[in-house]
Copies of this chain bind each other. A is one copy, B any other.
Amino acid sequence: MAGPQPFGYKELFAKNAPATARGTTRHAKYDFAVAYPDPDTLPLVGLIGALKVALEREGRDLAYYPEAVGLPALRQLVAEKLARDRNMKVTPDDVVLTSGSGEAIAMLIQALTDPGDTVLAEEFVYLGTLRQFRRFGADVVGVKCDDRGIAPDELRATLKRLAGQGKKVKYLYTIPIFQNPLGWTMSLERRRLILDICREYGVPVFEDDCYADLRFEGENVPAFHSLDDTGQVLYVGSFSKIIAPGMRMGYLVAPQEVIQRAMSFKSGGVSQFTALAIEEYLKHNMYQHIDEQNESLRAKRDAMLASLGENFGDAATWSKPQGGLYIWLQLPEGADLAALQEQAFSEGVGYFAGPMFSPEDRGKNCARLCFGHPSPETNYEGVAELARILERHGVLRG
């Protein structure tokens, strides 16, 4: 006997409610694809101890609904941290805790973007943000970069061209430190130039600073946000990289009028349980933990760089980032890492090729290699394995 006729929803869906495919998580033997941080230095024991202390002190308050903007003590800690580490002048009221930086990015995009609006970004863009841009119908224009970040002349030319076409640019999205996926850090001088050019055109800078803590060497560069006192910079940060992605804790910093709009795209406050653990833990252990983690990450990066040198030699170039989680591998024009991505995965090495990060589907000869999750030994072996795969399939000249 046939089952009952399924209930029909087709006529009931909202106009802008696209069906999303169920994501599946796959891990290759050598998993350089997704940007997971270091599992070896997760402060699990410390978090549990901190949570215990915090719940003994204020656990009864879990019976309340958290403030939509998040735990005041953690917003205070964020404000103090940003002053100390990023040269920023903000109060806890300027900070909103979010479900990872992903929610912060989605909130700001929705507050500022109507379908068809033009937004600028680097020529290769963090995948998650690119997806959100597409989800909300933004027309993303990539701006060329050099090894110090967005090229000022290119930015100016792009803004001029778009203005000539009568297009208002809503914001410039940038990851100015340990850029995802390119790996460079924008110099202070470059930041000043970019900010000035944007100001001329009335364009805010949307700064995604989520790798700022992961510096292994070299001098700190203050945030874009610290260079402006007019409210031109919207700022997003995250605890995913210094605590864990699984905690889903990020934040945004913005002028009040922007926060007020962005809040209409937030559904309630973050988990108070998670926020209490993070606040109590970081209050006592932040810099010690960051140092320990960066030592571990540095060894992982070094192993990957060493293996790239030994196995790719002159056949490719790659970024040498001073921190973060990524190396950008660039093969000669014509090499197609995009076409080989699935095959390489099935042969044991996962990576994401350039077009996944490109608003214009460019960069087939490029790939992002994440070094944060595997051990140094695995990074070393995996890059050698990648070279062997590429040679076997004629993509790399042996």
Binding site for B on A (CB under 8 A): 3-9, 11-15, 17-23, 25, 34, 36-39, 42, 44, 47-48, 51-52, 55-56, 59-69, 99-100, 102-103, 106, 110-114, 117, 135, 168, 170-171, 199, 202, 204, 228-232, 244-249, 255, 257-258, 260-265, 267-274, 277, 373
Candidates B13, B22, B247; contact of A272 at CB < 8 Å: B247
Q: What's the nearest-Cβ distance from chain B to residue A117, in Å?
A: 8
Instruction: Given A17-B110, A18-B261, check contact A63 B51 (CB 8 Å).
Output: no
Residue from A67, A271, A373 having most chain B Cβ neighbours under 10 A:
A271
Q: Which residues of B contact A5 (CB under 8 A)?
A: 230
Task: Report the nearest B residue to A372, measured CB to CB.
Answer: B63
- Assess the A271–B246 pair: CB atoms within 8 A: yes
Subset of 25 A-B contacts with CB under 8 Å: A7-B228, A7-B232, A9-B255, A9-B257, A9-B258, A11-B168, A11-B202, A14-B110, A14-B114, A15-B114, A20-B263, A25-B67, A36-B63, A36-B65, A48-B51, A48-B52, A64-B246, A66-B248, A99-B268, A99-B271, A246-B271, A247-B272, A248-B272, A271-B274, A273-B277
A277 neighbours in B (Cβ, 8 Å)? 273
Write out the residue numbers on chain B whose beta carbons fall within 8 Å of the beta carbon of A12. Answer: 112, 168, 170-171, 204
- Shortest distance from the beta carbon of A95 to any chain B beta carbon, whole Å: 13
CB neighbours of A230 from chain B (8 A) = 4-7
Name the B residues within 8 Å of A9 (CB-CB): 112, 204, 231, 255, 257-258
Residues from chain B with Cβ under 8 Å of A22 in the complex = 69, 260, 263
B residues less than 8 Å from A48 (CB atoms): 48, 51-52, 55
CB distance from A161 to the nearest CB of B (A): 20
Q: Are A14 and B247 also in contact (CB < 8 A) when A25-B64, A63-B39, A204-B9 are?
A: no
User: Are B17 and A264 in contact, CB atoms less than 8 angstroms apart?
Assistant: yes
Contact between chains at A245 and B62 (CB < 8 Å): yes
Q: Is the CB of B229 within 8 A of A249?
A: no
Cβ of A204 and Cβ of B273 under 8 Å apart?
Answer: no
CA distance A388 to B394 in the complex (A): 88
Bound-complex Cα distance A289 to B244 (A): 30
Q: Does A268 contact B100, Cβ atoms closer than 8 Å?
A: yes
Q: How far is the CA of A248 from the CA of B202 in the complex (A)?
A: 38
Nearest B residue to A277 via CB reads B273
B-side contacts of A113, CB under 8 Å: 14
Task: Please report the C-alpha to C-alpha distance between residue A22 and residue B111 in the assembled complex, in whole angstroms.
Answer: 16
Chain B residues closer than 8 Å to A15, beta-carbon distance: 114
Most-contacted residue by chain B among A17, A44, A117, A277 (CB, 10 A): A17
- Say yes or no: B246 contacts A65, CB within 8 Å: yes
A263 and chain B: residue at smallest CB distance? B20
CA distance A56 to B44 in the complex (A): 8
Q: Besides the contacts A9-B231, A246-B273, what 10 more A-B pairs have beta carbons closer than 8 Å?
A: A4-B229, A7-B232, A12-B112, A14-B112, A17-B265, A20-B263, A42-B62, A48-B51, A66-B248, A271-B271
Docked Cα-Cα span, A2 to B99, in Å, equals 38
